[in-house]
Amino acid sequence: MSFRAGYLIHADEARDQLDWNPEWSRRARGFACYAAIRSLGRQGLQDLVERCCAHAERLVTGTGALPGAEILSGPRLNQGLVRFRAADGAHDDRTDAVIARIQGEGTTWFGGTTWNGVRAMRVSVLNWRTTERDVERATAAVRAALSHH
């Protein structure tokens, strides 16, 4: 089974391990969702979605307001796109370099994607355990990555 998206990182080798991961091919993937709905109930599920959306909005607007950053899309629901401008006009290269620095630092993980022909950092909040403090730490990690030229 194979799955491709602009924000997924794939290996250059002949056998990409992502395609052989049981997570992508196992049955009953909907069971975890069913269990969450049964456990949380309607209001709990609504609170979880609203919290993820609020965190994403803060994260997209917070990182997009940093010097040299630009919001390309969003925040919409639980995600948005931000890119980073370069003085020499090589915005795609700078965006990829900033993403690599963020990933290398290890506080948070944002993936890159191509949207309307330009490189962007994909901001997405999916985890029910994400807190306001996590959003602050992630924004600080982006700020730190931007300060390294």
> pLDDT tens digits, residue range 49-62?
999 999 999 999 99
Enumerate residues 6+ apart whose C-beta is below 8 A from 67: 146
Distance CA 123, CA 111 (A): 8
pTM of the full structure: 0.78
- Summarised one tens digit per residue, pLDDT across range 5-38 is 766 666 666 776 666 666 655 566 678 778 888 9
Q: What is the mean pLDDT of residues 97-105?
A: 95
